[in-house]
Copies of this chain bind each other. A is one copy, B any other.
Amino acid sequence: MENTCKITDLICLPDTKLPRVVVVGGGFAGLALVEGLKKRNVQVVLIDKNNFHQFQPLFYQVATSALEPDSIVFPIRKQISGYKNVQFRLAEVVEIEPSRNLLFTNKGKLTYDYLILATGTTTNFFGLENVEKNSLGMKDIRDSLNIRHMMLQNLEQAAITCDDEERDALTNFVIVGGGPAGVEMAGALAEFCRYILPKDYPEYPSSIMKIYLVEAMDELLGAMSDKASEKTLEYLKNLDVEVLLNEAVSDYDGKVVQTKSGKMLLARNLVWTAGVKGQFPKGISKESIVKGNRLKTNGYLQVDGHKNIYAIGDIAALISEATPKGHPQVAQTAIQQGKYLAEMLTDLIDDKPSKQFKYKDKGSLATVGKRRAVADLGKLKFGGYFAWLLWSVVHLMSISGFRNKLLVGFNWVISYFTYEKSNRVIIRNFKQSSHIDSPSDEQFGTLEKSENMQKTKIDA
């Protein structure tokens, strides 16, 4: 295969005689794997294009100014500090050359004995170019910041314009996708509008901000129980969110959202949570790429057609009779697969046999604004205040780092009693940022961007 990568210096790494396990991606899956491989007789190289782990389940709270980004991202070097056999390198992976066990990044190349892809997913706009151009996804902490800044900038602009229609457009919000991200975003926005808007913008009636949630299926939270779906719909209606079911967005010019059924929604704020697609470097054999741009693996999470390449987390599609569509793309799958692969690889290197991966569903939770949530725990399905408490505890416990738990807890307690949120400041111009900082779909496809980044650092 012809390698198109231009930067081919070796990335500097300690020279050990141990087998080298290269892990791409410091998300839930990648970190669980690295954690499991510490103190084992392997050299682990963790590569990520960010120097931090992101706690995706709370992105919507950053987007709505409930939390500051630093409380839900955690430095990878802090996470792995003390792991003597683990090296972190900040680089963007571009391409794999399996025939030579070579990995090319925007910072140079490195060799691997075992390559594990934990590169996750990115927003899928399903080819709706105008929507992609004029709206924001929520798959990266920068997206959350961009949404926050878009919203705050538009609220400020609404105070400046004398045009009533324009003011409505600037204050209206459309969220596409009735999954957990969309539902939680809608709930948080509704509370922002109810409790924050009147304080910060006394010039507006709080009724000025209309919130629409658009879902293509006939229910919200399709992956959860019918009971959860119904309760969620009820909660959102009580928060004055207008939910449109069996409705899909067909076009968006930045001001008017058009739906398949011909509806027109006036809104300059559009957040797209309606789909994701896997992202991974070039060089993987076409045959192993399946629906949703995921990588087909066997029961050992080994990517089809590649001897020493494995996939874990959202991009892994372990297709079996029990799981014809692979496992759900959620944090618990990622963590379980990371832990499993650590054991499996160790056994493999020690020439021991190992079992295939088994997924254990611990249930699902989703929250709708303050004091309301829904829970499916096996047979037990319930909603309301207790579900919300459970949601809060589970999420607080899963956040990396004592400091972050403390910060998030501190903010939640304050906002529980006061509905006050953290500082609503616009530090970046969201539009410029959304183009420059947000991960683009081509991030693994081309090297231009990567080279600029390289240059940036070298010229710095």
List the interface of chain A (C-beta within 8 A of B).
Answer: 9-12, 14, 50-52, 68-70, 73-75, 77-78, 81, 87-91, 107-108, 134, 141-142, 145, 150, 152-154, 156-157, 159-162, 166, 170, 199-203, 254, 268-269, 403-404, 414, 420, 422-433, 436-437, 453, 456-460
Contact = CB atoms under 8 A, between A and B. Distances in A.
Among A10, A145, A166, A453: residue with most chain B CB under 10 A:
A453
Given A78-B200, A162-B10, A456-B432, A427 B142 contact: yes
Contact of A428 (B160, B428, B431): B428
Contacts of A14: 203
For the residues of A in contact with B, the DSSP-based class is mixed
Contacts of A70: 68, 422-423, 425
A77 B426 CA distance: 12
B73 A427 contact: yes
30 contacts: A12-B160, A12-B161, A51-B425, A68-B70, A73-B427, A74-B423, A75-B200, A75-B423, A78-B200, A78-B424, A81-B200, A89-B159, A89-B160, A107-B160, A134-B459, A141-B427, A142-B428, A150-B460, A153-B456, A153-B457, A154-B457, A154-B460, A157-B457, A254-B459, A268-B458, A269-B460, A403-B420, A403-B422, A428-B433, A429-B436
A201 B76 CA distance: 11
B428 A51 contact: no
A407 B336 CA distance: 35
A159 to B, nearest CB: 6
Contacts of A437: 427-429, 432
B436 A145 contact: no
Given A254-B460, A422-B403, A427 B200 contact: no
Number of this chain's copies in the complex: 2
B51 A156 contact: yes
Contact of A426 (B12, B51, B403): B51
A215 to B, nearest CB: 23
Contacts of A432: 436-437, 456
Given A157-B457, A160-B107, A201 B424 contact: no
Given A145-B427, A200-B81, A108 B160 contact: yes
Contacts of A50: 425-426
A115 to B, nearest CB: 18
A162 B12 contact: yes
A156 B460 contact: no
Contacts of A456: 153, 429-432
Contacts of A423: 52, 70, 73-75, 78, 403-404
Contacts of A73: 423, 425, 427
A240 B69 CA distance: 34
B77 A9 contact: no
Contacts of A134: 459-460
Contacts of A203: 14, 87
A47 to B, nearest CB: 10
A105 to B, nearest CB: 9
Contacts of A51: 152, 156, 424-426
A336 to B, nearest CB: 26
